[in-house]
Structure 1
């Protein structure tokens, strides 16, 4: 990966993204602590390698939105995932000021009744609470995934989440 990052830098690239995907399924015990930790290590190794090559790593710890989980379960998983990711980034010596985060908003699963009809104010409030609890102030930017929402709904939730 180091060679690829160096080649991309030489070609003019300045940002790189790595995505990991975790699923919520409480009955199956997902995501497991091992899956969360393993994904965090993968993101941290990538971020350290990208930074060493002069690239800004975009870190995308995505939590799949399929499923029947409610927004509270999504918030709890997102908090755990982001907490573990940021602790692991620090262990790997990643300069947080030189990273960007690309999470999805905190939403219930697509098969949950509140997915389509939930209030964007609730989405914004849970998302902001999750980010405030987990993302270190040194991180300079957060760019959201739409999370399966329509463009209009994602924009409305983002507008409500803007301080």
Structure 2
């Protein structure tokens, strides 16, 4: 492990207020979103959509890294240029999702485990050759009646830890993503309790397995009540709970936290990120940025609808949402900026 390579990658990804664009949706997930917009669910249309994203003018002003799927990192643009190369030439570092998605955790109803450790060392070596300098692994934790169990938390934390060790061995920065889902009717306090437990368990295991905290990125959820909950918390309350939870759980030596949007609307994700940075920037020891997917992509996808005639406007929307995410990272966002003119 070359610690300096890891540090340099992280520094470059988050330079000048930038963040990460997650464009690594699995094929089934991408197809589901295509279907909602009447877009043919084919490999070629997925290629065209990812080409639209990576070729967006000025995207590098706000995006320092982009997470690709296995399919995308192997695809080329219309003129034969690999997608990863196009990003690199624009100053955006390519990353890669290496997990193989989730499956049911045997013996534990309604709980999931993420697969993909088999052959990961070899896959990381291959991805490195085609330009990937960081990777991502997502664990999914559901809040419900009597869940999450300790067994589920430990199983997912163990997988995240082994993934992180293999990434650092290959000089690839691991994005460690333990997502507490917004699904459910749980309170913000319950989300806080579960998030804190998961993060504390995670960092204990990372330390045990000698993962270099300075050479990783944490991608957590914000502390928010479940989508079906009647509880409505203010933006400042969410920011306060999230900041408190992270301060209680995350070592100061971790260089960067890049939040997932987790199903929040684009505007709400920016409002929360902005409040965290605006209200607590002097108390937080980490870079607090974003690794948004739908919160940056969705307006673009809705506008594109698979039509070449819509590409220019769709790219403007993508650029706009990425720019707003960077402004939120700097703590200077306000809702008036939502108006695209």
TM-score (norm 1): 0.95
CA RMSD in angstroms, aligned pairs only: 0.9
Q: Which runs of 4+ in 1 moved over 2 A?
A: none
- Pairing 1:26-105 to 2, within 5 Å after superposition: 27=145, 29-105=146-222
- Pairing 1:1-163 to 2, within 5 Å after superposition: 1-25=120-144, 27=145, 29-114=146-231, 117-162=232-277, 163=281
Counterpart Cα distance in 1 of 2:205 and 2:154: 8
1:75-127 deviation per Cα after TM superposition (whole angstroms, max 9, x unaligned): 0000000000010111111101000011111001110013xx42110110000
Structure number with bigger Rg: 2
Gapped runs of 5+ residues in structure 2? 1-119, 282-341
Q: Which has the higher contact order (CA 8 A, sep 6+)?
A: 1
Instruction: Give 3-state SS (helix, strand or coil) of 1:3's partner.
Output: helix
TM-score (norm 2): 0.46
Aligned residue pairs total 159
1:15-39 deviation per Cα after TM superposition (whole angstroms, max 9, x unaligned): 00000001001x2x11000110111
Instruction: Give 3-state SS (helix, strand or coil) of 1:156's partner.
Output: helix
Gapped runs of 5+ residues in structure 1? none
